[in-house]
Structure 1
Amino acid sequence: MPEKSNRRLFLKGSALVPLSVASGALLTSIPAVAAAPIERIGGAKLKISLNAYSFSKALNDHILGRKKGLTLMELLDFCAEHNFDAIDPTGYFFPGYPGVPTDEYINNFKRRAFQLGLDISGTGVRNDFATPDEASRAADVQHVKEWIEVAARLGAPVIRVFAGPEQEGHSWDDVSEWMAADLRQCADYGKKFGVLVGVQNHGDMLKTAKQTLRMVEMVDSDWFGVIVDTGYFMTDDPYIDIAEVTPYAVNFQVKESPFGKESPIRTDLDRLVRIVCEQGYRGYLPIETLSLPGRPYDPFTLVPKFLAEVREAVSNTRC
């Protein structure tokens, strides 16, 4: 079978890898798969973006009128002041979310980003494609479709979606079937508007590289890929999982720790960037810092610090 006739291929003699699911769910076995990676040429090329979620509290303060807070427009200025290459303006922080923003707002945001020399590296929404509630999933598919159109109007090449949490009483295999069907609908719609759909591993249904790549296999679309969350592979060595999924990455979420936001273990950024470069990834590395209970959190200080560390790692790796 010619490679281009089917983008996703099973490994010969696929091994069965046992994976336990949530308490009360059935034990399932996910076949190891080999998906045809995204074809890239020219070697690695990295651009650093800011995920707006780093400023979640300040942005929500403004939206909810709790304090002055911060607007997305003001966050553009922050990105320019610190010489980010791009911004990832998460959908939650647009006026009226989950409704779509007005054309006027989108156009003004695009204009200001362009004037400041900033790309829009992607955007994202809330959704749950794991729930057994078919009507709820259908509503979320429609929500993603609406925001695919927003992404197209923004000039964002990728929209970030979630898989959803494990479901008690349902096996991984059962849930993955309806999840893949919903994600395929979104990818087909993204194709119409020139927007890639990326699913983010988020410690939910997608805890490992094998689970994530299985979903890529099942969706089977050139308009679908992985948002590599470097802080949410629930394995002993997340760097191995990161390396396995990077060939299928359409975007990233670079976190401070590979073991979850509450872990004191810092990401080995040199190792991470080396993995990304060795895989020939060309694209954005959006960074995201997170607040922790009991830890003073000032993104205006923490984000520039983390940005400097990521830049140093990129410089050290020379890619």
Structure 2
Amino acid sequence: MNHSRRSFLTTTTGLAAAALLLPHARAAQPQADSLPRKVEPKAMPAEIIHPAKPEDLFTISLAEWSLHRALQGNKMTNLDFPRIAKETFGIDAIEYVNSFFKTKAKDEAYLKDLKTRCSDFGVTNVLIMCDGEGALGDPDAAKRTQAVENHYKWVDAAAFLGCHSIRVNAQSKGSYDEQMNLAADGLRRLCEFADAKNINVIVENHGGLSSNGAWLAATIAKVAHKRAGILPDFGNYQNASDDKGVAKPYDRYTGVQENMQYAKGVSAKSHEFDADGNEVHTDYRKMMKIVLAAGYHGRVGVEYEGSKHSEDDGIKLTKALLEKVRAETFASMRHPTVPAPANDAKPKIVGS
């Protein structure tokens, strides 16, 4: 499914989501002159279509970080990832983490092997999450340029593997606005390079000001490039801090709502599940209503990061919850509940 498709599926979902999309009271920004403090959701497209099957709402991918303990413990390698995703979890789309093949970005033989394995197992490569390549918003101009150029090899690798994006970080230092300007500069230059390879550059809310939903949305607006986007992560808004590094946890639902207008992917972070299979920290039904109300119908990545459950169980629980929410949403759209008329309301006679 085209990850950028923005057609909203039904007025039923829109009405259900509207109640959840009322502005959340929040005053998290320190300066009045910065770009928008409140990001309004985009208006719903006029064209309304109806989903033929639950998968039309969204499809599921697997983030490699979900298996970081197995990878770091040498129980599997990056080359095993496509097979394990498909055979163990029944997931046919994957999101890589560059640290698990850090020295292989320019290794053509390795990348060909990886691509062949994906083809053999019928697995689609979605994106590469890139860490450890420098701060794209570094105040030092030379270091910022170096960070931009350090990401080039991952753009090339992503293009070779057939991914649509690389995920990057918007690290910086300075005031609220200074960090925005610096990060936007680095991101824009990287987008200009990536555009020639048809690769998007998407920022995850990954700590610091990047986990402030309003700051991140305003930063991407300032980048002003079609390749720039966001990978909203359900669980990372609590890692927000202000420009002094002081922790300022951000409401996750507000953050996702603010960031969805630029989303080119979604990361369904999970940590712990109760006996009913619900994630303890995130209301997935509420969150997915926000996601769908933004007109997003692409891939939602399973990213289990907890310790209560094994990695395998955590992945399976996250996938099962997403599938359950998707099925419930699909069913409600096929058989919407119509509110009963008020007692004093006169029934409408068709044709009268």
User: What TM-score results when the alignment is normalised by the length of structure 1?
Assistant: 0.79
Separation in 2, partners of 1:224, 1:271: 26
Residue equivalent to 2:79:
73
* Cα displacement (A) at 1:175: 2.1
Matched, 1:48 2:53: no
Decide whether aligned partners of structure 1 residues 152 and 39 sit closer, same or farther in structure 2, where only a CA change above 3 A counts: farther
Matched, 1:110 2:124: no
**Pairwise mapping of residues 1-319 of structure 1 onto structure 2 (< 5 A)?**
19-20=29-30, 29-32=33-36, 45-62=57-74, 69-81=75-87, 82-94=89-101, 97-98=102-103, 100-126=105-131, 127-164=134-171, 167=173, 170-234=174-238, 235=249, 237-256=251-270, 265-291=280-306, 295=307, 298-318=310-330
Question: Is the 8 Å Cα contact of residues 229 and 255 (structure 1) preserved in structure 2?
Answer: yes
- Equivalent residues, number: 278
Question: Is the 8 Å Cα contact of residues 50 and 287 (structure 1) preserved in structure 2?
Answer: yes
Q: Which has the higher strand share?
A: 1
Separation in 2, partners of 1:275, 1:105: 39
Q: Single out whichever of 149-158 and 83-92 deviates more from structure 2.
A: 83-92
Unaligned runs of 5+ in 2: 1-26, 51-55, 239-248, 273-278, 334-352
* Cα displacement (A) at 1:29: 4.3
Percent identity among equivalent residues? 22
Decide whether aligned partners of structure 1 residues 308 and 148 sit closer, same or farther in structure 2, where only a CA change above 3 A counts: same
Separation in 2, partners of 1:158, 1:289: 21
Decide whether aligned partners of structure 1 residues 86 and 122 sit closer, same or farther in structure 2, where only a CA change above 3 A counts: same
* Cα displacement (A) at 1:240: 2.3
Residue equivalent to 1:65:
none
Separation in 2, partners of 1:314, 1:296: 25
Unaligned runs of 5+ in 1: 1-16, 21-26, 63-68, 259-263
* Cα displacement (A) at 1:210: 1.2
* Cα displacement (A) at 1:222: 0.6
Q: Single out whichever of 265-274 and 126-135 deviates more from structure 2.
A: 126-135
* Cα displacement (A) at 1:211: 0.6
Separation in 1, partners of 2:167, 2:59: 18
Q: Determine which structure has more spread, i.e. the larger CA radius of gyration.
A: 2
Separation in 2, partners of 1:120, 1:28: 41
Partner AA of 1:102 in structure 2: D
* Cα displacement (A) at 1:132: 2.4
Question: Is the 8 Å Cα contact of residues 87 and 118 (structure 1) preserved in structure 2?
Answer: yes
Separation in 2, partners of 1:131, 1:157: 26
Separation in 2, partners of 1:239, 1:35: 13
User: What TM-score results when the alignment is normalised by the length of structure 2?
Assistant: 0.72
* Cα displacement (A) at 1:28: 6.6
Secondary structure, aligned partner of 1:287: strand
Decide whether aligned partners of structure 1 residues 288 and 236 sit closer, same or farther in structure 2, where only a CA change above 3 A counts: same
Partner AA of 2:226 in structure 1: D
